[in-house]
Amino acid sequence: MGIAGNLVTYTSGTLHLPSATGANMVSNFFGTGYVLCLVGGFVADSYLGRYWTILISAVILASGAGILSIVCAIPGLRPPPCDVNSNTCIQANGLQVGLINLALYVIAVGEGGLKANVSGFGTDQFDEKDKKEKSMMDYFFSRFFFIISLGTLLSFTLAVYVQDYVSRSWGYGICCFAFLIGILIYMSRYRSYRYKKSVGSPVVQILNVLVAALRKRKLQYPTNVDALYDDSTDTAPRIRHTDQLRCFDKAAIIDKDDYDSNGSVVRNHWKLCSVTKVEEVKMMVRLLPIWATTIYFWVIHSQVLTFSVEQASTVDRSIGNFQIPPGSFNAFYIFGILVGGIFYDQVIISLMKRWKGRHGFTNFQRIAIGFVIGILAMVVASIVETRRISVIKSVGGNVVTLPLKFYILIPQFFIVGVAEAFMYSGQLDFFITRSRKGMKSISTGLFLSTIGLGFFISSFMVSIINSVTGTQVGTGWLTSNINYGKLYYFYALIAGLVVIDFIFYLLCAVWYVRTMKDASQIESIVVSSEEEEKHAMQMKDVDTLTASTD
Cα–Cα distance for residue pair 28/101, rounded to 1 Å: 10
Residue among 540, 525, 530 nearest 127 (CA): 530
Residues 377 and 416: beta-carbon distance below 8 Å: yes
pLDDT at 16 over 90: no
Q: What is the mean pLDDT of residues 203-227?
A: 86
Residue pLDDT, tens place only, 232-244: 666 667 778 888 8
* Confidence tier at 383 by pLDDT (50, 70, 90): very high
Residue 397 confidence (pLDDT) = 61
Cα–Cα distance for residue pair 161/328, rounded to 1 Å: 7
Residue 526 confidence (pLDDT) = 36
Scanning 403-439, the segments in alpha helix (DSSP H) are: 410-433
Residue pLDDT, tens place only, 255-307: 877 787 776 777 778 888 888 888 888 888 889 999 999 999 999 988 888 88
Contacts of 132 (CB under 8 A, 6+ apart): none
| φ, ψ of residue 221 in degrees (nearest 5) | -70, 140
Q: What is the mean pLDDT of residues 397-423?
A: 88
Q: What is the mean pLDDT of residues 343-350?
A: 83
Q: What is the mean pLDDT of residues 499-527?
A: 74
What percentage of the chain exceeds 90 in pLDDT? 26
* Confidence tier at 252 by pLDDT (50, 70, 90): confident
Cα–Cα distance for residue pair 442/40, rounded to 1 Å: 8
3-class SS of residue 407: helix
Residues 550 and 511: beta-carbon distance below 8 Å: no
Candidate from 45-54, 74-83, 235-244, 329-338 with smallest mean pLDDT: 235-244
Top-level class of domain 7-198+279-549? mainly alpha
Q: What is the mean pLDDT of residues 343-352?
A: 83
CA-based R_g, the chain, Å: 26
Residue pLDDT, tens place only, 128-149: 777 777 777 767 876 787 788 7
Q: 178 or 345: whose pLDDT is higher?
A: 178
Q: What is the 3-state secondary structure (H, E, C) of 110-121?
A: HHHHHHHHHHHH
State the virtual CA torsion across 200, 441, 68, 180 in degrees, nearest 10: -90
Cα–Cα distance for residue pair 460/458, rounded to 1 Å: 5
* Confidence tier at 535 by pLDDT (50, 70, 90): very low
Candidate from 24-38, 152-166, 516-530 with smallest mean pLDDT: 516-530
Residues 29 and 108: beta-carbon distance below 8 Å: yes
* Confidence tier at 527 by pLDDT (50, 70, 90): very low
pLDDT at 540 over 50: no
The torsion region of residue 470 among left (phi > 0), alpha (psi -120 to 50) and beta comes to: left
Residues 444 and 433: beta-carbon distance below 8 Å: no
Query: Which residues partner with 88 through β-bridges?
Result: 83
CA distances from 381 to 146, 301, 322, 463 (A): 25, 12, 25, 21
Q: 101 or 471: whose pLDDT is higher?
A: 101
Q: What is the mean pLDDT of residues 105-123?
A: 88
Cα–Cα distance for residue pair 251/240, rounded to 1 Å: 15
Cα–Cα distance for residue pair 446/437, rounded to 1 Å: 15
pLDDT at 375 over 80: yes
3-class SS of residue 129: coil
Cα–Cα distance for residue pair 549/517, rounded to 1 Å: 14
pLDDT at 542 over 50: no
Residue pLDDT, tens place only, 388-403: 989 888 887 677 788 8
Q: What is the mean pLDDT of residues 445-463?
A: 88
Sign of dihedral through CA atoms 427, 430, 435, 440?
positive
Residue among 526, 2, 17, 1 nearest 310 (CA): 17
Residue 411 confidence (pLDDT) = 94
Task: Kindly state the DSSP code that residue 423 receives in the 8-state scheme.
Answer: H
* Confidence tier at 472 by pLDDT (50, 70, 90): low
Residue 99 confidence (pLDDT) = 92
pLDDT at 425 over 70: yes
What residue segments make up the domains of the chain, in order of their start? 7-198+279-549, 202-278
* Confidence tier at 44 by pLDDT (50, 70, 90): confident
* Confidence tier at 537 by pLDDT (50, 70, 90): very low
Residue 42 confidence (pLDDT) = 83
Residue among 204, 208, 338, 183 nearest 273 (CA): 208
What percentage of the chain exceeds 70 in pLDDT? 89
Residues 308 and 413: beta-carbon distance below 8 Å: yes
Q: 17 or 262: whose pLDDT is higher?
A: 17
3-class SS of residue 478: coil
| φ, ψ of residue 373 in degrees (nearest 5) | -70, -35
Mean pLDDT estimate for the chain: 83
pLDDT at 523 over 60: no
